[in-house]
Chain A
Amino acid sequence: MSTPPLSPQVFHILFALSEKERHGYDIMRQAEIDSGGRVAMGPGTLYGALKRLLEDGKIAESGERPDTDDDDERRNYYRLTDSGRAALTDELRRLDLLCGLARERDLLGGAPSLPFSA
């Protein structure tokens, strides 16, 4: 059975975590960058989505704390699980398929509209 498409928030959370473990605010910031400012979550939306992703087993709390300058012991870090990575891959394939179709139909034009780079 095919899984339903992910919401933009969930997609960008998983996408942000695919690179490395991150804490909540880092996820918010990265999602905003990856989406070109289109997905600007607040703390309520972010932690609501994180809660559901934790319950679904798509992400997990990270036991290790990255040794960075801005680390704070009050922050929780999250990482992608295998199930979360599979869901992200499914979604990316679905988007890829759509993009392929859109190119065939000449709908995308010349320039990419989604800046997926920081």
Chain B
Amino acid sequence: MTVTRIAAPRDPHERAYAMLLLLYPHRFRTHYAPAMRQAFRDLLRDARGSGRSVRTAWMRVARELPLSLAREHLSAFFSAEIRLERMLRLLILYVPASAIVGGYAALTLWYPRSMHQPIMLAMVEQQWDDREQYALWQEIRDEDRGFSLRIPPILLPAQPTETWYGLFRRSVIRTTYAAPEWPETRLRSDKLIVSFHGAEFSWKNVLQRDIFWPMSEEGAEKIMLSSGLEGIHWYYHDAERVTEHYAFPDKNGRIVDLAFVTYPDAFANVLPYKEQILYSLRLPPPDGMEPF
């Protein structure tokens, strides 16, 4: 193979093309860059001679460059004769590229739900004295953060509420919030932002799902999300407070137990609420109350 050196080009277009040739593998460049520069010079000459813009020459280069570069780099990698050269090429060129691609893939596998899949957000609805209470349940993605509970403030009665987050299987309550008010939530596009005691959490790709809940015969209620996931809902109470649990399996096979506590005495109209809870615990309803 004849290798011919060409003097540095004066034409700015040729100079730019010569710079582009630096992107090719060294060995290929050593052998063919002078001839390629000559061919590009001929392209420019013909374009100018025929009254066309030099843009036509550049368009031809732009169309072929990505594929041509990829092909020559792959070819150089697999045909490198010296093992050391191949290793150096690997280190210098391919390791960073692989790290970026591999890192992204690993992150995708590690946090698939946080990055790509819509968060499954169930809306649990119950009628309490003509008031609606909504809880949003979200699959656990991060053990340190647990899952989120959201009650839209617009639809809620102002009530003292304690909310906590936990994993059912481990029976660990991760965080306990004594909330005088519900968490403040904002829904910006598909991003849910929850401000809670000075901390702010956000989740992307939030979807709302409706649920319906047929009564089971065991006392607790089976609830079913529109996605087909089944869960259990049950209540218990003592003299001061009522505790509700919503337990769902998440996709990792863990049971997510969302529990929240309300203090009915803080309601102006406590009685209907208490009665409903009592009835759901299979105690006879108070006189005059119809089963619901």
Bound Cα distance from A25 to B57, whole angstroms: 12
Question: Total interface residues on A, using CB and 8 Å?
Answer: 23
Interface residue ranges, A against B (CB under 8 Å): 24-25, 28-29, 40-48, 50-52, 54, 61, 72-76
Given the interface pairs A25-B42, A48-B71, the reply to whether A75 lies near B35 with Cβ below 8 Å is yes
**Top 4 A-B pairs ranked by shortest CB distance?**
A44-B68, A42-B64, A43-B36, A25-B42
Q: How far is the CB of B259 from chain A (nearest CB, A)?
A: 65
Q: Are the C-beta atoms of B68 and A76 separated by less than 8 Å?
A: no
Given the interface pairs A25-B43, A61-B2, the reply to whether A42 lies near B35 with Cβ below 8 Å is no
Given the interface pairs A42-B60, A51-B28, the reply to whether A28 lies near B39 with Cβ below 8 Å is yes
Bound Cα distance from A40 to B144, whole angstroms: 58
Q: Are the C-beta atoms of B71 and A43 separated by less than 8 Å?
A: no
Is the C-beta of B53 less than 8 angstroms from some C-beta in chain A? no
Interface SS of chain A: helix, strand, loop or mixed?
helix
Q: How many A-B residue pairs have CB under 8 A?
A: 71
Q: Are the C-beta atoms of A47 and B36 separated by less than 8 Å?
A: yes
Question: Total interface residues on B, using CB and 8 Å?
Answer: 29
Is the C-beta of B226 less than 8 angstroms from some C-beta in chain A? no
Could you list some 15 contacts between A and B, CB below 8 A? A24-B35, A25-B39, A25-B43, A41-B64, A43-B37, A43-B61, A44-B64, A44-B68, A44-B69, A45-B64, A47-B36, A48-B75, A51-B28, A54-B1, A74-B4
Bound Cα distance from A24 to B37, whole angstroms: 11
A residues in contact with B42, CB < 8 Å? 25
Q: Are the C-beta atoms of B31 and A44 separated by less than 8 Å?
A: no
Q: Are the C-beta atoms of B60 and A40 separated by less than 8 Å?
A: yes
Is the C-beta of B63 less than 8 angstroms from some C-beta in chain A? yes
11 additional A-B residue pairs with CB within 8 Å, beyond A43-B40, A48-B28, A74-B38: A25-B42, A28-B39, A41-B60, A41-B64, A43-B35, A43-B37, A44-B65, A48-B71, A48-B72, A74-B4, A76-B4
Bound Cα distance from A46 to B63, whole angstroms: 13
Is the C-beta of B34 less than 8 angstroms from some C-beta in chain A? yes
Q: Are the C-beta atoms of B34 and A42 separated by less than 8 Å?
A: no
Residue of A nearest to B37 (CB): A43
Q: Are the C-beta atoms of A61 and B1 separated by less than 8 Å?
A: yes
CB proximity to A under 8 Å, residues B33-82: 34-40, 42-43, 46, 60-61, 63-65, 67-69, 71-72, 75
Q: Pick the contact of B35 from A45, A52, A54, A76 — CB < 8 Å?
A: A76
Q: Are the C-beta atoms of A51 and B35 separated by less than 8 Å?
A: no
Q: Are the C-beta atoms of A44 and B61 separated by less than 8 Å?
A: yes
Q: Are the C-beta atoms of B38 and A25 separated by less than 8 Å?
A: yes
Q: How far is the CB of B56 from chain A (nearest CB, A)?
A: 10
